[in-house]
Amino acid sequence: MILTDEEKACLQGSHGEANRLAVELLVRVGEAFGSERLIPITSAHILGHYGSLHQAGIDFLERLAEGGGQCRVPTTVDPSSVDFGRREQFRVPEDYVEKQKRLQVAVEKLGVIPSWSCTPYFAHNVPRFNQNIAWAESSAVAYANSVIGARTNRTSFGLDICAAITGKIPEFGLYEEQNRKGSILFEVELGAFSDLDYHTLGAIVGRRSGSRIPVIKGIPPDVTNDRLKCLGAGAASAGSVALYHASGITPEAQLKDPFDGTRPEEIFTVSRKDLQDMEDQISTADPNSKVEMVTLGCPLLSIGELKAVFLKMQHRRVKKDIFFWIYLAQETYDLGRALGLVEPLEKAGIWFSTQTCATISSVKVWGFSHVMTNSAKCALVVPSEHNLSITYRDTDGCILTATEPV
Find the mean pLDDT for residues 286-299.
96
pLDDT digits (tens, 9 = 90+) for 64-77: 999 999 999 999 99
Measured CA to CA in angstroms, residue 199 lies from 44, 138, 234, 353 at distances of: 26, 14, 5, 22
Contacts of 91 (CB under 8 A, 6+ apart): 362, 365, 366
Same domain membership, residue 233 and residue 348: no
Specify the pLDDT at position 226.
98
Distance CA 296, CA 313 (A): 13
pLDDT digits (tens, 9 = 90+) for 129-139: 999 999 999 99
Peptide linkage before 299 cis (omega within 30 of 0): yes
Q: Mean of the per-residue pLDDT values for the chain? A: 96
Please check whether residue 372 is in contact with residue 293, taking contact to mean a CB–CB distance below 8 angstroms: yes
Find the mean pLDDT for residues 302-308.
98
Distance CA 186, CA 181 (A): 14
Specify the pLDDT at position 31.
97
Contacts of 206 (CB under 8 A, 6+ apart): 234, 235, 236, 237, 238, 239, 240, 241
Specify the pLDDT at position 251.
98
Which of 281, 303, 338 corresponds to the end of one domain? 281
pLDDT-based confidence at residue 386 (cuts at 50, 70, 90) = confident
Please check whether residue 278 is in contact with residue 196, taking contact to mean a CB–CB distance below 8 angstroms: no
Same domain membership, residue 67 and residue 56: yes
Q: Has residue 321 got a pLDDT over 90?
A: yes
Same domain membership, residue 241 and residue 339: no
Q: Has residue 15 got a pLDDT over 90?
A: yes
Q: Has residue 307 got a pLDDT over 90?
A: yes
Same domain membership, residue 74 and residue 159: yes
**Residue 284 φ then ψ, to 5°:** -105, -10
pLDDT-based confidence at residue 24 (cuts at 50, 70, 90) = very high
Same domain membership, residue 20 and residue 167: yes
pLDDT digits (tens, 9 = 90+) for 196-224: 999 999 999 999 999 999 999 999 999 99
Q: Has residue 363 got a pLDDT over 90?
A: no
Which of 236, 252, 281 corresponds to the end of one domain? 281
Which of 118, 146, 177 corresponds to the end of one domain? 177
End-to-end CA distance of the chain: 66
Specify the pLDDT at position 361.
84
pLDDT-based confidence at residue 233 (cuts at 50, 70, 90) = very high
Same domain membership, residue 267 and residue 290: no
Q: Has residue 385 got a pLDDT over 90?
A: no
pLDDT digits (tens, 9 = 90+) for 109-148: 999 999 999 999 999 999 999 999 999 999 999 999 999 9
Same domain membership, residue 123 and residue 197: no
Q: Has residue 379 got a pLDDT over 90?
A: yes
The DSSP code sequence of 294-360 is EEEEEEEEPHHHHHHHHHHTTTEEE-TT-EEEEEE-HHHHHHHHHTT-HHHHHHTTPEEEESB-TTT
Same domain membership, residue 334 and residue 266: no
Number of domains in the chain: 3
Same domain membership, residue 316 and residue 380: yes
Containing structural domain, residue 272: 181-281
Same domain membership, residue 138 and residue 88: yes
Residue (of 192, 191, 78) closest to 140 by Cα position? 78
Same domain membership, residue 170 and residue 63: yes
Specify the pLDDT at position 5.
97
CA torsion angle 156 159 165 168 (round to 10): -110
Find the mean pLDDT for residues 361-382.
93
Find the mean pLDDT for residues 370-377.
98
Query: In this structure, what CATH number is given to the domain that contains residue 188?
Result: 3.40.1060
Specify the pLDDT at position 315.
96
Please check whether residue 175 is in contact with residue 349, taking contact to mean a CB–CB distance below 8 angstroms: no
pLDDT-based confidence at residue 294 (cuts at 50, 70, 90) = very high
pLDDT digits (tens, 9 = 90+) for 36-68: 999 999 999 999 999 999 999 999 999 999 999
Query: In this structure, what CATH number is given to the domain that contains residue 363?
Result: 3.30.499.10
Q: Has residue 384 got a pLDDT over 90?
A: no
Same domain membership, residue 12 and residue 98: yes
Please check whether residue 233 is in contact with residue 380, taking contact to mean a CB–CB distance below 8 angstroms: no
Distance CA 27, CA 33 (A): 10
